[in-house]
Amino acid sequence: MIFPDAFVSHGSAAALWGGVVPDDQSVHLSVPPGCVRSRRRGITAHQSRGRSDLRVLKSIPLSSPARCFCEVAGGGLGLVDLVVLGDSLAGAGVVTRDELIASADGWTDRRAAVASRAARLVRDGVDSPMESRLRMLIVLAGLPEPSINFVIRSDNGDWKLRFDLCYLDLKLIIEYDGDQHARDPRQVARDLERREEIEKMGYRILVIQKHHFYQEPDRTLQRIAAARLDRGATKQSCRIRSTWRNYQFRG
């Protein structure tokens, strides 16, 4: 360490805890107040807010998961990326949603409100960053929030499939498929057969691929809203707000 009391913080700590953060070539360290912050290449030093919420991971002193969530919020990370981070930290089992909320609510920073809002949008059991981003696109567009990781089992128990998002009342499944070219063709064929069986159970599956999400977000939202309407949702609950455009969706 540059200073005896320095510790890993911000995005670097989040990554060590298993969180998903945007690529950053710098190592983020926090140093005690009054210390001259290093300008060494590859190191970004921050003034510490104290050492009351620190942990040790593999002999490395670092910010707790809840603290680094707030630190990166203070550093300017956007709402969607904060939710991706929170989902991934909760998914790694290192923090709970309630702990993130408590930490954010007690944070004193100009972006504390963003941290608090993001913490309340964190969900347990999210499998991937793209699942988080797709959920946030739906929510920020004003559509109802779907359930997460819905599992369907065959009648005889031979198989089960987990789907990213589902409107249970409408039997409408929304599945992000980002690796369709990487899977074993035989597995793809089996999945298609099982999806046919699921559709026979009365479910509709709406597949969203990478280019749909990043290149056609408007059309993607329209597809989701139209599918909801087709499945019996009210027109009011299918209205798309333009507020999602105020947020950055990156991958």
Q: Where are the alpha helices (DSSP H) in 48-160?
A: 65-74, 79-91, 97-105, 112-121, 129-140
pLDDT band for 177, please (50, 70, 90 cuts): confident
Evaluate if residue 166 carries a pLDDT over 60. yes
3-state class (DSSP) for residue 207: strand
Give the gyration radius of the chain's Cα atoms.
21
- pLDDT (average), residues 164-175: 96
Q: 178 exposed, middle or buried (CB, 10 Å; 0-12, 13-18, 19+)? A: middle
How far CA 194 is from CA of 108, 160, 186, 206, in Å, comes to: 50, 9, 12, 15
| pLDDT above 90 (res 32) | no
Q: Give the per-residue pLDDT at 33.
A: 75
168 Cβ neighbours under 8 A, 6+ residues apart: 147, 150
Closest CA to 91 of 121, 57, 125, 120: 125
Q: Considering the chain, what is the average pLDDT of its residues?
A: 91
pLDDT tens profile 78-108: 999 999 999 999 999 999 999 999 999 999 8
Q: Which two tokens stand for residue 60?
A: 């490395």
Residue 200 and residue 43: Cα distance in Å, rounded? 56
At residue 153 the predicted structure's pLDDT band, cuts being 50, 70 and 90, is confident
Residue among 214, 47, 75 nearest 134 (CA)? 214
Average pLDDT of the residues in 219-228: 98
pLDDT reported for residue 126? 95
- List of domains in the chain: 7-121 (no CATH), 129-246 (3.40.960.10)
Provide the pLDDT for residue 38. 59
Residue of 132, 122, 205 whose CA lies nearest to 162: 205
CA distance 49 to 61: 15
Is the distance from CB of 9 to CB of 28 less than 8 angstroms?
yes
pLDDT tens digits, 212-223: 999 999 999 999
pLDDT band for position 113 (cuts 50, 70, 90): very high
pLDDT, residue 25, reads: 81
Predicted pLDDT of residue 192: 82
Instruction: Check: CB of residue 83 under 8 Å from CB of residue 132.
Output: yes
Q: What pLDDT was estimated at residue 2?
A: 54
The share of the chain scoring above pLDDT 70, in percent, equals 94
7-27: pLDDT as tens digits: 999 999 999 999 999 998 889
Query: What local confidence, expressed as pLDDT, does residue 250 receive?
Result: 79
